Every structure is written in structure tokens, then in C-alpha cells.
Structure 1
Amino acid sequence: MTFLHKTRPLLLCFITIFNLVSLIACQPATYNNHACLGPGNETATAGYKSNLTLLLDSLSSKASDKSFYNDSFNGIYSLFLCRGDVSGNVCRVCVNNATQTLTQECPSDKRAVIWYDQCLLQYSDINFFGQPQFYPRLLMWNTQNSTSPEEGNIGTLGLFYSLVAQAPYEENMFGTNEMVVGNGPGRRYGLVQCSRDLDVSSCSSCLGELLNQTEECCIGRRGWRILTPSCFIRYEMYSFYEQTSSDPPDSPPVDEGKQKAGKGGKSTGKIIVIVVSSIAGVFASVLVAGFWYYSSSVKKRKETGTSGRNLLSGSQGSKSDQLVEEDTHLYLSDEDHTGEMYHFNLATIQAATNNFCRENKLGEGGFGPVYKGKMFNGKEIAVKRLSMNSTQGLEEFKNEVKLIFKLQHKNLVRLLGYCLEEDEKLLVYEYMANTSLDAFLFDPEKCKLLDWEKRSNIITGTARGLQYLHEDSRLKIIHRDLKASNVLLDDDMNPKISDFGTARIFGGNQVEANTLRVVGTYGYMAPEYALEGLFSNKSDVYSFGVLMLEILSGKKNRGFYHPECGQSLLTYAWLLWNEGKRSELIDPNIADDCLIDEVLRWIHVALLCVQDDPAARPAMSSVILMLGSKSVDLPQPSTSPYSAARFLHMINLPSSFSSNTFPYDQSSTTGSSQPRL
């Protein structure tokens, strides 16, 4: 009792120190990002949520003694993977944090993935076990670029080639390596790992895919990482993983005679001295460990600097619609067609366009020049570059990115990504080999390639795209600048509406708006918008009617002149309509291969769209019905489009006033510029 009484304070102290050691060893996991991947219009049932909770709880319970575990329950598949160098306690803490975060952030999603520094966790209603998953893909990098070649990724690819070659064959599919740079003390550190549900071939494929991407995204960065649900790769200029230490030297043999000491006060004193010495040593170790942990954390924060992030493919993890956050960027990719985009770095776009060389220039509009580019994987792109003297500013740039990000339709141009770096503002689109409609329609030779079948397809496709904007998308969008140069043509001559820089969102039951800043293109503007600043979906209908007349006649509205009708294709069409000479409006290039009655009916629909009174113009859904069904009776146009004619006669803009057009506006070479406010 006397011995216990004397040693009790020391034991309590020892327990306290042990708890401190445990606390240091079990620091919270470092969160990177997550992605909620369930269908946007589908919510998980209560039964699914209950089953998911049971499955995630089961995974958490396995994390103490396993670094990888996968399981399924009632059609739900899930796994966790802890980094190959972390302890069981760290793994358990990380997996627990991951399950709690996903439960809170993705409550109604049937698929999700989350990344921490120390682990990843994912679940899905689709069996993904054994299948390499390249998306969603998280890119992170140090925003401080290398300041000298020696600080760059010299030899980095060589470092990772060996890791990628060896790791798939390791039992835990994990590998680390380091290298010395130059003659100095600097070292570089690399880590790779695969999820252990993959086989060797799939692991090699996954890591190889990421290694290929490093050449595009990461060369020249002081530190970076690429993470997918199946594998990840990381490079830093500091040691970020647990180093493998050598075994401690064997303890000297203990004298058995001393072990057999009697129960006297000297023995007790020796024990107390030993205990005190041990506790003092442990306490000193704790202090050293604590100081090391704090200093190393500070050092890593300094070395890591501000981190940039790109999340590729269907993520809802951000909960933010901001285009640019201060230091962290969260974007969606172009891997599928569910609202994705990608942030390109400037070096990638410069390489793709050969540094915006003249030979790659496709055209130029009010926004600035547009260039053709080719990515390292052979994918062709179109890059829209904001010029310093552009009439379109940063707000319109952001507006276009945000809108196209939320809109998906086969007749809308697909935005692949953008770049805001240094002084550049760039938009990256899918490349359209056939450029824009005006490049064909108003070219004396190319117009012959537009037979009636192609023209009717362009009209109906454009109508469907416009109907989607007005009525079918989750947003109600007024384009405000529909014209021939903003209708792009793919390889099969299918139309895609482009340029959403001036588009406006209508909310709730809003049907029209007023603006003091009229934007658009003269000749396509509805009279109420051009003269009074009033715009609505009927403003777009008017522009569509003008476009229809141009496609059917092969003539431009602006720049058109007739001695009796003045400067308007619209009034010329109205005159022929009233005089019974409607067929004279039809482009001779299609007169021989079309049904004249069908074309005349479509001219009738176009005249309904360009009536002065917005209320008299049909909605786009009605336009599509009129175009597709001959049984629908067409009302007579109520008014002639004289307001437009008077307006066009009033304006006299200088020819140098450039238009705001998106890709493939050939105004710089063909003189087809459409002035814009």
C-alpha cells in the first residue's frame, strides 16, 4: 500500500501524458474535397439512406485494423482506402470523419466520394469494384510557381515512372520515393497509391492516366496532386508522408541479480527513481513531439502555400455557384453531359493554339479573336480570347460561363472550360469544323452546300435550342443576340446556339424587363428592344424570324437594299407576300430541291415572328408546332414590320464599329460585321 500510495501521483501523471501522446497521434484528418454524384433530379429514398447508414457504420468499424475494406449491402457498394503510410488510429479517425461529412453533405445522392490527405471513401448504387474510375478527378497544386529551373519538376517524371512501374505490384499498391535536386540540399518527394479492389493492370492504367495528365497541368508547380476514386499521385518539395525508420538498437542485457533485489526501501527507491526517470523521459518526448508537430505543420503550411483546386466531373460538393473564389477554384468537367466544365491553365491553352498564332485564328468579333487549338490528346478546341479593347467586359465573361455551365442541350454550344490567369480571359469551346452559319449562308460558293434539307434542319434545330432556353431549362433565358454568326455548325451541319455573354435570366413569373444598356446586333433586334430597351422571350422570337428569312432567302437583313422597300429584308419579304410573289423570296440555290409550298409556309411562320407587336408573335413552342405540322392553321401576320425598317433607316453607324460575336464570326475577313451596342 505504501508503494502504491507513493507512486499514485506518478501513475496519474503517466496516464495524462499517455493521453497527450494519443491525442498527438490521432490528429484530425485533413479534408481535401468531396463530390456528390447522384442524379440531380433524383433523391434517395428513406430505405436507401437507412441502408447506406448501416453500410458506412460497418466500414467505420473496420478502419481500426484495416487500411482498405470494401463491402456491399442491399445494392449499395462502398469502400475506404487509407494512405499506405498512416497508422490504424489515423485511418480510423479519417474514415469516421469521411462518413460523417458525406452523410451531411450528400444526404440525397446515391453516389459520392470524398478525399482526405489520409484516406478516401466512396459509395455508389452501381457496382464499381475492380473498375478503374478516372472521374471525378481532383487536381490540387501550390499556386506559387517555381521561380527557377532548379525549383521546377526536374526529374519528376523519372521519379514517378519508377513509382508507377513498381506500386501496382506491391501488396498495398502503395509507393513513395524521393530524389535530390542538383548539388544542393533540396529534395523532392513523390507518392502513388491505388485502391486495392483493382488488379495490377487496372492500377497501372489508372496511375498511367494521371501521370500523362501531369505534363498538362503540373510541370513547373512547386507541389501538386491528382486524386481519383481509384488512384492518386502526389509531388511535393517537402516530406509529407511517414518516413520508414530503422529498427532501434537492441537494449543491453539486464543483470539478473539486480532483477532479484529484495523488498527493502532501497528497492522501492530504485523503482521510484526508475518510474520518475521514465516519466520524465516520456514527458520530454511529448514536448519534443508536440514541438515537432507544431513546427512541421507551420513549415508545411509555408511550403505548401495557397492551394488551387479543380474538381472534374459532376460535383455538387462546393455548394457554391461562384465563378472564382479567392484562392480555391472548384469546377466541373466535360467528361459527361450533365453540366460540367474545366479550368484550363494558360500554359495549356498557349500550347494548344501555338501561342495564339495568326494561322490558328478563326475570326474576330467584339469580344476579341477566336483561335483553333489542339490539345495534347488530339482533341480540337476553339478559344475565345477577350481583347483589351473589347466591348464585352469581365461581367459578361462571367455571365457566359455561369449560364452555359447550367444549360445542356444538343442545340447549344458546349463550353469545355475557361481560363482566368494573369491578364487573360479565355473561353474554351468544342471546336466546330464548319464554323458558323453566316460563313456558309452569305458566301457565294459555300451557300451552294446548304441544300433544303440542311437549311430546314438548321432552322428546326435552332428553334429547339431557343425553346429550351425559354421554356424547358431550369432557368428561363433570354439570349438577346441570336443571329447567323452565333449559330455554329458541327461536322454534320447540326446547329448550336452560342454566345451567352449578353443573355439574361428571368425569374419566377417575369415576362419582360427593361434596360438602359441595349446590347445585341442591329438588324436582328426587335423594335421594342432597340427603341425602348424592353426585352422578353418575344425579342428572341423576333430575332429568330429574321434568321429564318435570311436562311430561306440567302440574303442578309442588314445591308439589304431594295429601291421600293429600303434597307430591310423584312419589308421586302412583306411586299412579296402581299403581292402574291412569295416564291421570289426563295433562294435559287434551294428552289430545285425543295417543296415550294413547304418553304412558303415557313416564310409565313417567319413573318409571324417579326410582327411589330410582341404579343402577336408566337412562342417558340408554337413556332416548332407550326414548322412540324401542316395541319396547324397559320394566322395572317397582323402588321407589317415597318418599325424595323424605320429604325434601320434612322441609324447610321460607322463601318468600323465591330460586333460582339462568338466563334467563327468571319467579319474580319468577309466584312460581315454586325454592329452592336
Structure 2
Amino acid sequence: MATAAPGPGSRSRLLPLALSSFLLLLLLLLIAPGAAAQPWQSCGNTDNYSANSTYQSNLASLAKALPANASRSATLFAEGSAGALPDAVYALALCRGDINATACGACVTTAFQDAQQLCAYNKDAAVFYDACYLRFSNKDFIASATNNGDAIVLMNSQNVSPPVRAFDAAVAVLLNATADYAAANSSRRFATGEEGFDATDPTIYGLTQCTPNMSPAECRTCLRSIISDMPQYLSGRRGGRIIGMRCNFRYDLYSFFSGGPSLRLPAPSAPAPAPSPAQVNVTPTVTPTGRSRNRTGIVIAIVLPIVAGVLAITMVCLCFLWRRRPARDQTSSYSVNQSEIESIDSLLLDISMLRAATDNFAESNRLGEGGFGTVYKGVLPDNQEIAVKRLSQSSGQGIQELKNELVLVAKLQHKNLVRLVGVCLQEYEKLLVYEYMPNKSIDTILFDSEKSKELDWGKRVKIIDGIARGLQYLHEDSQLKIIHRDLKASNVLLNSDYTPKISDFGLARLFGGDQSREVTNRVVGTYGYMSPEYAMRGHYSIKSDVFSFGVLILEILTGRSSSGSFNIEQSVDLLSLVWEHWTMGTIVEIMDPSLRGKAPAEQMLKNVHIGLLCVQDNPVDRPKMSTVNIMLSSGTMPLQSPLKPAFFIPKSGYYSTVHSESYPIASRSVDNGKPGAISPNEVSITELEPR
């Protein structure tokens, strides 16, 4: 298909777009370490709190106080409690010892936001970033000076070259040396170090840290305990870390910390059998303060001017080519093709217009807040109501996810998909503007005992049918072939007449041709809705969305959240609860109370039947969305008997979890043998890019 060359007006808009894209990308590269990384999270299996409860109020108080306390503290650490039993909240936040106070405060603030989103209404939650970590709980864990088994293990999936035992021994020496230095010589109980190894892996870098309120002896004991677990979980790995609430360590084959190392150890003279980390006794060579030659600083001093010069020359050439060769296809910093640039260009909105529409993002116009930022209601000059998604500077949704959402949503046209009104990329802001949905998302109504009464049987059927049609369009009818990958109740919005619209395509993956199945190194989404093959092995397909849709059907019919706890002694998740009643023939008993006696029992059973078919363990056994729509609309189509649904969420209150930095693996304990919840946001290697 021929594409017309852009006219002068188009070129004048393309250059600012490229410049703004370049500046945004540069800004993301300069953000403090770990600030924009997706967190690893662990959600404890405790009682949930409710909205507007005393527990939530106490948690909000700590969410306001701890970031300020941590950033003001010279040790970048804060802990505290709020309220009285049974609504008391205890929290602890620790920032990495080499970041600044501003970055620390921002990281802890984001941690509170992400914890409440990723572990929604859970009284016990923890999130871990490169720059900081946070835990809050209704249990007084801050009274202990040990990790109490609450630790996670993160590992690099790649192995080092032989000899493995020599490498493990070198890592143990480095970690024990930095542990001694952190415990005895640092007010922040923090130390970094480097050690020469061999020609293949010339340098090993290490980091150890304790909470600063620990004594030197307590710190060293805590670090010695987790370092002793290294051979069991991290032997031969090119990088790894164990993070506990009171102490943590990390090692890798590249410099991942800021500034020069606290310690420099010489290379071992010869490979030796790996000693027990608890028995290693070394005398580290400490470089005197003021005399060390900071190799990182030298490299930066040499490379930075070169990079700046190259960037300057590149921008000059780009401007020259734009002016002299207008008829040739151009490429912006987003690396999208010409038609994609033009579609985005037509959606560009001025920031002054959006400030006026939202009353300068007034708190009174705030609709909600999530891990990616805050959403505000606004009114454009033509009286069109809008929802403005203001992505935070520390948001995990960066240029790539923003590019996904822009390119995909701008091209998708269906009454059951949310419509993108425009975008703004000015003044370091990243703003996405959508049509306003007055009834917000399904979860705000469905899981509220009073509001759920608004959803009679007719409205619920309309919502189920609309979501199914929207998914069929994404999977089969759209030219782009989209897998959403994060379909859940909070990502389905309702307009004034309760028509459902699927939203938030930042995690979607674009498929072309007949491609229908893929493997990713980056598992993203929400547990309770994720299919077992995707959560455990990174395998995703259109059948992954079908699984999420099946969970949604069961939530809509029962009024229960897939992450809720219903019977602590028996069923602890929605799928097992529904299956239990289905096999006993008592399925009506778990339907939403507002539907009992007011909805046709035969239709309710049919919808539950379809929901169970969608959550089958084997993806092959799940129907396509076009088949689901036929099932929903037909009164005569026979339905096959469902098999037992997949169950894959471990039942444990412990954080002792092992993650791979290539793909999630089965949960293992650090020291007590009890499994933990696997984080869906554990990996950040594979970039999501339309193709």
C-alpha cells in the first residue's frame, strides 16, 4: 500500500516528537538505580483489610511518614508502626546505601503504591527493587533483629565457565569480606567490593547491607546466615542475591553499584575448593580514603564526552536529514514506521489544554492511582469528558510500554475496547488521554457488597458478552492479533449504560500472521488471572487470555475476587471453591447473594460451565473466544464436561522464595522448607515490542 509523503506541516510536528522521545529516553537512563524497575513482590496469606477501614487509614499514615523519614535519615532507613491492635500496622523500609536521599524517598513512595496494588487489600506485603525494599504487616516483625525466614533468592539463569568451585569460593571470600566491612566500618551497615578472578570472568562485584539499627555483631551474624545459603541456591550462577528484611547481599560480573567499591581484593593465586562461607576468614585490602583511583570515575570521564559528542552530531545530522530529504521515510526515537508516527502525531495534545481540563491535576479530580501513575478526570473545551493517565517518572511503564499502548490502542476500533483520545509528551510529562468511563472498573462495583446490587442479572450477562466480543476482536478479527496478557476486573471499564470496555494495553504483545504461541522471558500480569503455563514457564498464547476470561466469568457470577480467601481450612482460591460446589451440585450456593432467586438458575449454570471450560489446565482444552461467543449466544449447543481446573498458587505465609532472572521456577525455601508466592513481575530482560 502506497504511503503519501508528509507535507511541511507534518514535518514540523515530527521533529518535536523525535526530540521529545529522545529527551524522555535520556531521562529514563538517568533515573536513580532501580527506580523504574518492576518490583519483585511477596503477598502474605493473611486476612485482607477492607476499603476505608482503620487498617487502611493506619497504612496510609505510614505510607506518608516512612518515605520522608527514610530520605531525611543519614542511613536511608526507616521503620515504625501505626494504630493499635487489631488494626496495628508495622512497616520497614531500607534503601541501598549508595543512592541519594531524594531517590530513596521516591523509591519508598513508589514501593507503598506498588505493594497496595500488587497485593491489593492484603495486610502483609513486601516489594523489592534494586534501590530499596519495603514490607508492611499486621504482625510485629520489626521487633526481631533477624530475617525470620522472610527472604527471597534471585538468580541469574546463566552459569559461569568451569571451574565452578573456584568461582563459588571467590564469591564467598568477597561477600564475607564486604560483610565484615559493612558490619564494622559503615554507619549505614553497607559495603561494596570487587575481586579479580580470571581471564574469562576478570572481576566479581559484590554488595552487602544490613538495617543500620543492627549492632555490628547482629549484622555480621545475619549476613553470615544468608551467605551460608549461597552454595545451595546460587552455586555456579553468574549473579545472584538473597534479600531478607534485616540483611541482604548481591554479586555479579558487572559493576551494579554507584561510585567506587569499598574493598578491592586481589585475584586468588590458584583455584581452590570452595570453603564453607561461615568459615572464611580473610583480611581485606582496604583502599585508603582519598588515595583510591576510582576506575569507574575514570571511565566516565573518558566516555561521557565521547557519548555527548556522538549524540550532538547525531541530532545535528537528524535535523539536517529532516530538512533536506522530506520525501524519505523517517524514524523517530520510538522506532515505529511512518504510518505509526502519523497516527500518533494526530493524537498529540497540548499540556496546557490538559492542565486546564483537569484543573492542573487537582486532587478533587483524581479517579484512582496504580503502580504506573495516577488517573484524573477532565473536561476538554468541547465538553468531552476524559480520563487522563499521568504516568509517574518512576513508573515501570517506560518508553517501550508507552509505545505499545499508543500504537496498539490508536489502531484498535471496537465498541468493547476503550478509546484513546490523545497523548501528551511535553515538559517531561507522559500523559495518555482516554474516553471517560463514569462507572469506573468492574472491581469497584463487583467486590463491594452494596454497590454489587446495581449489577442485576441482565447487566452481568451484558458485561460477560461484551468482554467476550472484545477478546474475539483482539484475537481473531483484528488485523493486529493482540494478546492482552493482563485481563482482569480492574482493566475492564464500564460506561454509563454498563457496556464493558477492555483497557490498559501496556502489557499486550503484538502478533502477526498465524503466530499464536510464544515464550517470553518477562512474565508480567496479575496472579489469580494468569494461566498456569504462563505463570510457571512463560508460555503465552490466546489461550492465556481465555483463562483470564474464565476467571472473570466466575468472579462476575459469584461476586468474589479470585485473590480472596474464602475458607482457610479448605478452599483458598476461587477456582477450587467453584469446582468444589460444581462437583457437589451446590453451585447456586456460591452465586452472588443479590442474584439468588432473581436470575435463571439454568443460565447461571451454563455460564459457570463455560467459565470452567475456559480455565482448564491444558490450553488445548480451552475453547477459542469465537467458540465461547457461540456458547454464550446459543441455547442448544452442547457443552463438554469440564475437567478439574488448574491450581498453581502456593498456600504459604512465607516470603522464602527463589526466582530466576531468566524465567520463574518452582518456589523453594531459604531455611525453613516452606514455599512462597512466586512474583509475576520478577523478570525484566525481554523487551515487549510490536512486530
TM-score (norm 2): 0.47
| Higher RCO, 1 vs 2 (CA within 8 Å, ≥6 residues apart) | 2
- TM-score using structure 1 length: 0.48
